[in-house]
Amino acid sequence: MGRCGNMQILNKIRSRIKSYTFGDKIQEILMILPMFIGFLLFVVYPIFWVLRWAWFNYNGYSNPVFIGFDNFVRAFTRDKTYWFTLLNTFILAGAKLVTEMPIAIVLAVLVNKKMKGISFFRVVYFLPSVLSIAVVGLIFSILFSPYNGIVNALLVNFGLASKNINWFGERWLAMFVILLVSLWTTFGLNMIYFLMGLQNIPKELYECAQLDGANAFRQYFHITLPMLAPVMQVVFMLSMLGTMKITDLILVMTNGQPGGSTEVVMTYIFKYFFQYGDATVTPSQFGYASSLAVITGIVLSIITLIYLRVSKKMKEIY
């Protein structure tokens, strides 16, 4: 009976293979083709474009001049502003990870409860993630306006501030507002990741823990958090890389002000690609911008590899 059953399975597989026609192949290719073309146009081609012009002195319209490593030497020896913007980016990314991860986990635990109307809160928390970053930045710029902003009005009316605060007039205040808005736009997506992780935890573990007398606090730290570790690793890496690439929010809210103190690495590179203000003062420098993009890409790759290596070792330990 076992051999007969195996033969029936083999016959079914053979019949399915035979029924797989050339038309099915064409259909599959056509379904994949748009995404593949988009990948080539918007990922592969820009990478090779940047790698090419990183070795040239090129402003986009004059004849390019090959200068070898000069752009990279300039970045490492003479451009202190680039490294300052990279430091700003690391500060923003670190502060965001420290605050965003706990908020997302706690909210995921709360919205995972079977309560009436909990779906409404899931949608509300996730909604900021689907809004345009440019629109969000503009709205919060108005809210934190130093003269007629709602935030200053509330602080003064409730006696929490004696006068209006110039939120964008000092580096750390401006960085705090940027951090706050960035958290508001992304914590909902991370909450969804953690929510999916929570829903995949077997309920039997909690039932066994209750039988052993474990309270909710011990269940959270001995079951929930360890079972969410794989999700945490993914969310941590995505959040870190996403914050390292933040651009549009900074451009809309502060544009690097005051005095360039809130500039981050991607806005700095962006301004070399697309000159701001008078072209005679700050002309486009595609070659130098490309070299900065290559250096930043290498830095991000190193951070990712280190994180993956550390994560792999932690898995082996635990």
Domains of the chain plus CATH, in order, are: 2-53 (no CATH), 79-317 (1.10.3720.10)
- 15-36 per-position pLDDT tens digit: 555 555 666 677 778 888 889 9
pLDDT, mean over the chain = 83
pLDDT tens-digit map of 64-114: 889 989 999 999 999 899 999 999 999 999 999 889 888 888 888 888 887
**Cα(209)–Cα(216) distance, rounded to whole angstroms?**
9
Q: What is the pLDDT of residue 281?
A: 45
pLDDT in tens, 128-180: 888 888 889 889 999 998 888 899 999 988 888 888 899 998 999 999 999 99
User: Would you state the structure tokens that stand for residue 219, as one six-digit string?
Assistant: 């269940």
Coil/strand/helix, residue 278: coil
3-state helix, strand, coil in the chain (%, to 5): 75, 0, 25
288: left (phi over 0), alpha (psi -120 to 50) or beta: alpha
Helices (runs of H) and strands (runs of E) counted in the chain: 16, 2
d(C-alpha 160, C-alpha 199), whole Å: 41
Structure tokens at 107: 């909210």
Structural contact between residues 272 and 291, judged by C-beta atoms closer than 8 angstroms? no
**What is the structure's pLDDT at 280?**
45
Give the model's pLDDT for residue 19: 55
Kindly tell me if the per-residue pLDDT of 278 is higher than 70. no
Count, residues in the chain: 318
**Burial letters for 6-20: b for 16+ Cβ neighbours within 10 Å, e otherwise?**
eeeeeeeeeeeeeee
Is 281 in contact with 166 (CB distance < 8 Å)? no
DSSP 130: G
What digits encode the pLDDT tens for the residues 86-97?
Answer: 999 999 999 998
